[in-house]
Structure 1
């Protein structure tokens, strides 16, 4: 769309559906289901707000929640199709691969019919082939008892017990969803804490909240895939092993593998233009161009955060660069990372551990949500905000938040980092009252020990 706005003739080659994983098998469908399950959980506690609810009449209709999810996805999908037509972009359905670059890039397109195979030529190519769920060797996903996020989102499912392998964003979000539905949930993580990429204090907080809500958490364990046994109509049995080699047997109705995603870098014809095709991702410069002039890579396959908003930002940078428009380089330190658990987790910039490892002399400011009026009014006061600041310059290095509204509010710190903002400036900003956003000012003032409400 950006390249078309700049007057370029644009062709998209897409094997499946416009919108990719985020729209059809990721961000949008999962957040839709989480919204439904969170509302169901909230209704069960309405008496705290003075609203009397007959618990006997409450029922979560998983099929209807999936219908709502489908309607949201379809509406957004139609919007993308409209924008493609509006911008006069040519869409070719099929699998595209590089054939070579004698003068221009030669791209072969297969769509399953030999008669319909075609070749197109282009001065510039952007590879944006995304990723797919990572599946352990020896596992056959059947969509009945063994799942990835793709299969779990395809059909309504409400198991009595589910085991989730992996405690990153995907695993944590599905743990919340199924627990709110009423399923018993066990989440297994090979690292020694949940949310292992987040600040350690955030990890401890979400672990404590999950334990309190009855989600069984097993950090420091790994699944022995060769020991999974299941008979139709009976619960599965499987074996876990801890760091000391101790093994334990467990039962479950379903296993969800949420152990990351594998980049779609194979079958792209990379060797035809002089690039290796066995790498986990494609190396690019800060303007998303590979070592081959005119060939760009964006999104998951470019090796940064596997997030839709990262892919969008990188695509805009690549398109502007191709069109000769001045633009900013990709800056991963400005990327907000969001996990839509209950409560939500959001972060941007460096963690305390990363800042120390990078050699910064830091100051830390924290503020708990239970001192925030809007959080108490909303009925969600679990969590806190934490700011990491360079002691020498007072510049914000990172912000980490767990709590209601975190995923909406984190962009405030992202913008502050972008503008090279300081803790003093964030503390002096005027925040509306009552609002959750006030915690940003309090945490910024807490950096120098001057928070008002703690």
Structure 2
């Protein structure tokens, strides 16, 4: 069995792991990365990126269908599902190759196989043809997570789908029931509805997108229902059975009755990938299935760290990447600041899109301090009207005394590309004064961000 030694070994090549490996190499460490499946992890291959490619196809389809509103006459569009799916897979394949190139460029040694901790810095990697024994002074666990399974609804690829099956459909089901109204569930609901499916969404919470500000959730819910998506909130499945080639479900809660679906898509959360890692050989602690870490990603085992989804929420790729950089720089003795979870933006690529950072209005009020809330609708924004994208609004929340930006929330066209302005403002500890005096270009939808700040202080100019 071959043995090699490194300064740092990263287990998992997703957005947290490969970024950590690259940054460590930049800082002069001898680095190895172990990945048992595709480079880029779930996000690049079976999550963030391929779903956005599918959703872009849905956007194009909606735009073409609405071409007459812009004075453009076109024939009725036809969906080529095979090409839609293939384009999505091609995007992932191209990006996966890009990650491999970055690792090579940064002289990161890549091992393809299953890694298992053996204690005292040793890791055994079971490759396809042989085993490799590696030693590292520091080890980062970046093994990610997988879709949470329901024991009574096992994924079978026919009646019950996870996100993997939903990403590569051979046909569009006539009736689709999505269980779970978080970001993943709502994004798939929007895609399949655009593709022509009859879509229903079932959620145990009392509203869809329950992690978002209540006004944002309500706006998205109204838009989805207008688009023909049936929403069952504060409800759950009491029983189900297969009848005549379809899933028949008994629903209980706020909505009681039966519904039928050709396919049920499960989007009910995730489970951390901690099995078969050899954690029993360490002092690592688990909480609700996730690895417990401190503010610098350190576990209870010396020189063993965990980043990304395996270390708990928020389950976001950009959070994992930032943790990877933070963790490595801390190892190297650089001055780093712990992540403030309220400064991590979140995006949902639904129709309309949702983007937020910081506290919701309800959370801000729970802080017990006076706040100021400003809102500005896109219907009063010139660029939004020109684009026929006037659904939604921008909402900001300030501490009345200090002017601190506590939270920002958006719903509308391409707001996921706008939230970074508020995220930067929070990082710079910007107050309402700086935001008011910032000159934004006209005409842009981002002007609504400026107007929302003005509205919080009764100074809105176009409302």
**TM-score, with length taken from structure 2:** 0.93
Give the corresponding residue for 2:19.
Answer: none
Contact 2:285 2:292 in 1 (8 A): no
Distance 2:247 2:281 in 1: 46
Contact 1:375 1:436 in 2 (8 A): yes
3-state DSSP class of the match of 1:123? Answer: strand
Q: Which runs of 4+ in 1 moved over 4 A?
A: none
3-state DSSP class of the match of 1:328? Answer: coil
Give the corresponding residue for 1:358.
Answer: 367
Give the corresponding residue for 1:241.
Answer: 252
Distance 1:209 1:122 in 2: 52
Give the corresponding residue for 1:263.
Answer: 272
Give the corresponding residue for 2:298.
Answer: 289
Give the corresponding residue for 1:137.
Answer: 151
The alignment status of 1:41 with 2:62, answered yes or no, reads yes
Partner residue of 1:210 out of 224, 228, 243: 224
Cα drift, residue 375 of structure 1:
0.6
Change (3 A) 1:112 1:81: closer
The alignment status of 1:59 with 2:78, answered yes or no, reads yes
Give the corresponding residue for 1:111.
Answer: 127
Distance 2:40 2:198 in 1: 33
70-79 or 190-199, which deviates more: 70-79
1:243-274 deviation per Cα after TM superposition (whole angstroms, max 9, x unaligned): 5xx74111111100011111112222122122
Give the corresponding residue for 2:95.
Answer: 76
Give the corresponding residue for 1:125.
Answer: 139
Cα drift, residue 423 of structure 1:
1.6
35-44 or 291-300, which deviates more: 291-300
Contact 1:424 1:445 in 2 (8 A): no
Distance 1:175 1:279 in 2: 28
Contact 2:224 2:351 in 1 (8 A): no
Cα drift, residue 203 of structure 1:
0.7
Distance 1:341 1:147 in 2: 19
Change (3 A) 1:197 1:121: same
190-199 or 136-145, which deviates more: 136-145
Cα drift, residue 75 of structure 1:
1.2
3-state DSSP class of the match of 2:291? Answer: coil
- How many residue pairs were aligned? 442
3-state DSSP class of the match of 2:305? Answer: strand
Change (3 A) 1:277 1:95: farther
Cα drift, residue 207 of structure 1:
0.8
1:161-216 deviation per Cα after TM superposition (whole angstroms, max 9, x unaligned): 10000000001101110111111100110001010000000011111111111110
3-state DSSP class of the match of 1:35? Answer: helix
Cα drift, residue 327 of structure 1:
2.2
Cα drift, residue 158 of structure 1:
0.6
Distance 1:186 1:197 in 2: 20
Cα drift, residue 275 of structure 1:
2.0
1:14-25 matches, within 5 Å, as 14-25=35-46
Partner residue of 2:407 out of 388, 398, 405: 398
1:26-425 matches, within 5 Å, as 26-55=47-76, 58-101=77-120, 105-111=121-127, 116-224=130-238, 226-231=239-244, 234-243=245-254, 247-276=256-285, 279-425=288-434
Contact 2:284 2:299 in 1 (8 A): no
1:378-436 deviation per Cα after TM superposition (whole angstroms, max 9, x unaligned): 11110011101001101100000000121000010001011111122112110100001
Change (3 A) 1:151 1:230: farther
Cα drift, residue 230 of structure 1:
4.3
Question: Which ranges of structure 2 fall in alignment gaps of 5 or more residues?
Answer: 1-21
Question: Which ranges of structure 1 fall in alignment gaps of 5 or more residues?
Answer: none
3-state DSSP class of the match of 2:319? Answer: helix
* Backbone CA RMSD of aligned residues: 1.4
**TM-score, with length taken from structure 1:** 0.95
Distance 2:414 2:437 in 1: 21
Distance 2:258 2:418 in 1: 42
Change (3 A) 1:112 1:80: closer
Cα drift, residue 112 of structure 1:
5.8
Change (3 A) 1:159 1:269: same
287-296 or 275-284, which deviates more: 275-284
3-state DSSP class of the match of 1:124? Answer: strand
Partner residue of 2:448 out of 436, 439, 450: 439
Cα drift, residue 156 of structure 1:
3.3
Cα drift, residue 277 of structure 1:
5.2
